[in-house]
Chains A and B, each alone.
Chain A
């Protein structure tokens, strides 16, 4: 496959994790006190891999070239709108929707990148932010005929859908892959555990693996090396006969296409779009994911995306009565105190927890969760008798 041994191992590990995610994410039996930490339900699993794709693409731009875009949610949104229009006009099959979402986002990012990359550093970031906010406002107001404005878009029964046959009476249009419906699930009960295998999740996971494989190839290619050179020293690059602009633009468009792919998949899983997914906080979220996981590393963005989406969906669901249950074994006064202390960090306060974790990671682990993993790994290595290699780290950390 054109990969070295370590990269193949990494890809295989990720593939196995994706395949067995319904088990891995559901470690607690149904009905137990810990069941709320289970993340093995289709909606969340789909989000984990789709935002993984988004972050993998963002990392090709930010991790390799160092250009920090604050507007990538715009490409995700544009991809989503393109996908939903394919579903309205062509077919509920997700394949054309996904392909068109990538192409449209690619074209849009070519335009935005061509203009924004005239500047670098903070000015580049502000330009991308401005573009994203313009796209958001336009989607909300002027472009309502195309975007559905505040209500957004979803497939309707009377849409043309020229490739699909007419729907039977009382049937609603559902996203499918050649007849296999995306929301179709198979539930397997083992004792108290229930594991859900969802068609949409596995489609998204396969797409994520392909996206991950392509990203490894880009990282290991001469093109990827040039992108790292852009980040390292543009002056030297220019005086080495290389034009930085097309390199950064290509990276920008590739990452825009990844964002479009994520947007298209979101629509394939849940057939509706609203302008809010282009809001600047969504652009900021992918920056957090990439930095939290480890910018410039291969697996980091996937970890970061998984971590944040898990927090968003799990920590935010813990409420006061659950807390009271947890601390019920304590004496009354202490129980109340603990509940009061922990309460701001859960439920709607999950952002506070995320913010603190983000600060801790940036201060103590500048290389993100990946660096944390490496440190733990090195700790274990050191305990073994000293090998012949003084330090296993010869290539840049991935």
Chain B
């Protein structure tokens, strides 16, 4: 049994069958990548996992509990954190505040009317946020406006925010999309370090083969809403079906 079990999940938008019959099992403490050409249903699948979409059929179990019908914040409280394709941070707040909010969410739950205590008096929360900023090499930027960070730093901050909740499963949606090669490599190194140092399962949706093959232990190839094959990176590289799926895409694009 994996920590995340997706069984027979299907999702239809009007006439379009976005997901056919998806089965997926993500092993605990592994790095699992989901790849596929444009329109393969990668994002739809991810949205079904975090509560943004509810699949028409099938089940999604996280650690033995169903996530279906729960709201995104409830699923997050179960231990699933999500990193977005374009970094979603609190752009109007300082870097430090960005890091403190998930710490509070972890400690106090989905809602706490903490209107009278002051932030400086929350020593344990400050310590935790500072610690995470150091881990992310961002301690010198703590008073900066998060919106004025560089693209790469925003990504680091977002990953740090997710990690400060100590999630059991980290979902990443094309974390290096639109990044320069140097930033991409930094992100790869960061993710490698995270998966080595922490008890965490990482599921990653990615377009960039370089990223996938340097990180993943297992790869699922999705095409036209159904998993084509699931295997180790080495076997995926040589698989003719995968080549066909990707080759087909390049021909269309040309």
Q: Point out residues on A near B: beta carbons under 8 Å.
A: 2-4, 217-218, 220-226, 228-229, 231-233, 235-243, 246-247, 250, 254, 394-396
What chain A residues lie within 8 Å of B110 (beta carbons)? 241-243, 246
Interface size band for B: 35 or more
- Is there an interface contact between B111 and A243, defined as CB atoms closer than 8 Å? yes
What chain B residues lie within 8 Å of A226 (beta carbons)? 101, 104
Most chain B Cβ neighbours within 10 Å, of A220, A235, A242: A242
**5 A-B Cβ contacts within 8 A?**
A226-B101, A228-B93, A240-B73, A240-B101, A243-B71
Q: Does B193 contact A (CB under 8 A)?
A: no
Measured in the bound complex, the distance between the Cα atoms of B165 and A226 in whole Å is: 16
CB distance from B2 to the nearest CB of A (A): 22
- Is there an interface contact between B115 and A224, defined as CB atoms closer than 8 Å? yes
- Is there an interface contact between A4 and B120, defined as CB atoms closer than 8 Å? yes
- Which 3 interchain pairs have the tightest Cβ spacing? A241-B76, A223-B115, A232-B90
For chain B residues 112-128, which have a beta carbon within 8 Å of chain A? 112-122, 125
Q: Assuming A241-B105, A242-B101, A242-B110, is B93 touching A225 (CB within 8 A)?
A: yes
What chain A residues lie within 8 Å of B101 (beta carbons)? 225-226, 229, 237, 240, 242
Q: Assuming A2-B121, A239-B50, A240-B105, is B94 touching A221 (CB within 8 A)?
A: no
- Is there an interface contact between B92 and A228, defined as CB atoms closer than 8 Å? yes
CB distance from B89 to the nearest CB of A (A): 6
What chain B residues lie within 8 Å of A221 (beta carbons)? 114-119
Measured in the bound complex, the distance between the Cα atoms of B139 and A351 in whole Å is: 51
CB distance from B111 to the nearest CB of A (A): 4
For chain B residues 61-118, which have a beta carbon within 8 Å of chain A? 71-74, 76-77, 81-82, 84, 88-94, 97, 100-102, 104-106, 108-118
Residue of A nearest to B120 (CB): A4
Q: Does B216 contact A (CB under 8 A)?
A: no
Give the tally of cross-chain contacts (CB within 8 A): 116
- Is there an interface contact between B119 and A225, defined as CB atoms closer than 8 Å? yes
- Is there an interface contact between A239 and B118, defined as CB atoms closer than 8 Å? no
Residue of A nearest to B107 (CB): A222
Q: Point out residues on B near A: beta carbons under 8 Å.
A: 50, 71-74, 76-77, 81-82, 84, 88-94, 97, 100-102, 104-106, 108-122, 125, 143, 161, 165
- Is there an interface contact between B89 and A239, defined as CB atoms closer than 8 Å? no
Measured in the bound complex, the distance between the Cα atoms of B92 and A395 in whole Å is: 12
Measured in the bound complex, the distance between the Cα atoms of B144 and A394 in whole Å is: 8
Measured in the bound complex, the distance between the Cα atoms of B164 and A241 in whole Å is: 12
Measured in the bound complex, the distance between the Cα atoms of B120 and A231 in whole Å is: 22
Q: Assuming A233-B91, A246-B111, is B71 touching A238 (CB within 8 A)?
A: yes
- Is there an interface contact between B93 and A232, defined as CB atoms closer than 8 Å? yes
- Is there an interface contact between A222 and B165, defined as CB atoms closer than 8 Å? no
Measured in the bound complex, the distance between the Cα atoms of B90 and A9 in whole Å is: 29
- Is there an interface contact between B102 and A220, defined as CB atoms closer than 8 Å? no
Residue of B nearest to A7 (CB): B118
Residue of A nearest to B91 (CB): A232
- Is there an interface contact between B90 and A222, defined as CB atoms closer than 8 Å? no
What chain B residues lie within 8 Å of A246 (beta carbons)? 110-111
Partner of B92, one of A222, A231, A238, A250: A231
CB distance from A391 to the nearest CB of B (A): 11
What chain A residues lie within 8 Å of B104 (beta carbons)? 222, 225-226
What chain A residues lie within 8 Å of B111 (beta carbons)? 242-243, 246-247
Measured in the bound complex, the distance between the Cα atoms of B83 and A235 in whole Å is: 11
What chain B residues lie within 8 Å of A247 (beta carbons)? 111
- Is there an interface contact between B76 and A218, defined as CB atoms closer than 8 Å? no
- Is there an interface contact between A240 and B165, defined as CB atoms closer than 8 Å? yes
Measured in the bound complex, the distance between the Cα atoms of B88 and A232 in whole Å is: 10
Residue of B nearest to A242 (CB): B105
Q: Assuming A236-B90, A241-B165, is B120 touching A250 (CB within 8 A)?
A: no
Measured in the bound complex, the distance between the Cα atoms of B76 and A225 in whole Å is: 20
CB distance from B235 to the nearest CB of A (A): 33
